[in-house]
């Protein structure tokens, strides 16, 4: 039996009727950013996207950027499926008409993947940067970096492959995914923002002219330390 958190402006039973036939415990809170501050812990988070796709997408981005710690599943109508892409940062989608067996299976798989990924998470240490994959947090010389989800993913990927140069196309594929249709300009924008947040350590993200970017190690640090959790 899982503890579920439903973000919706409607009633519990309206979002996913099949939940009423399962033994999972569900609690609903308003689908608003302010409601997330005191949100209770949950094994999975269901976001109601049936009526307002833009608001639901924004909410999902906030959840991923702040490190929700639980799989995020969007509930929508069949017509809303075309609007969902990798930018949402979610773990799965579910139609509001899904039956009990499908709902239970999708919840079980999403929670199982989250548990497996957390167990395999590691800590990356390089040139004063400490990246904790389990908590989606990053620090530079003890100072916590306020990163968005994609900024974190970009830093994690580059720091996990120190000194290796990646083209913008490679970074788009590795960090944003193959289904991302934006241009390479996206990479430049995120690198610029990441450097700004690194402050005095902005040189850690090096530019190789006409090629791409790399994570630059200090001269006295020949390799990255990656500790398994």
Would the pTM count as exceeding 0.85?
no
Beta bridge partners of 130: 125, 139
**Token pair of 47 as six digits:** 């976001």
Q: What is the pLDDT along the chain (229 residues), one digit of tens a residue?
A: 789 999 998 776 689 999 999 999 999 999 988 888 888 888 999 999 999 999 999 999 888 877 677 899 999 999 999 999 888 989 899 999 999 999 999 999 988 887 766 655 578 888 889 998 877 889 998 899 999 888 999 999 999 888 899 999 899 888 887 556 667 888 999 999 999 999 999 999 999 998 999 999 865 454 555 555 4
Residues 149 and 127: their CA atoms lie apart, in Å, by: 21
């Amino acid at each position: 039996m899982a503890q579920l958190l439903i973000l919706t402006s409607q009633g519990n039973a309206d979002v996913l009727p099949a939940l009423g036939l399962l033994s999972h415990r569900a609690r609903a809170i308003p689908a608003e950013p302010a409601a997330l501050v005191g949100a209770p812990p949950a094994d999975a988070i269901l976001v109601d996207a049936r009526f307002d796709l833009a608001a639901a997408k924004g909410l999902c981005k906030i959840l991923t950027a702040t490190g929700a710690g639980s799989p995020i599943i969007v509930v929508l109508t069949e017509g809303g499926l075309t609007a969902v892409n990798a930018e949402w940062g979610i773990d799965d989608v579910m139609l509001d008409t899904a039956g009990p067996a499908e709902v239970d299976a999708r919840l079980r798989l999403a929670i199982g993947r989250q548990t497996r990924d957390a167990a395999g998470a590691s800590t990356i240490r390089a040139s004063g940067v400490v990246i904790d994959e389990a908590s989606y947090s990053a620090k530079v010389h003890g100072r916590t970096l306020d990163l968005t989800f994609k900024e974190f993913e970009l830093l994690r990927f580059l720091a996990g492959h120190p000194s290796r140069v990646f083209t913008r196309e490679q970074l788009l594929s590795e960090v944003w995914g193959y289904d991302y249709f934006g241009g390479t300009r996206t990479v430049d924008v995120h690198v610029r923002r990441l450097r700004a947040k690194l402050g005095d350590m902005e040189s850690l993200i090096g530019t190789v002219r006409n090629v791409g970017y790399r994570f630059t190690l200090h001269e006295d640090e020949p390799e990255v330390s990656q500790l398994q959790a």
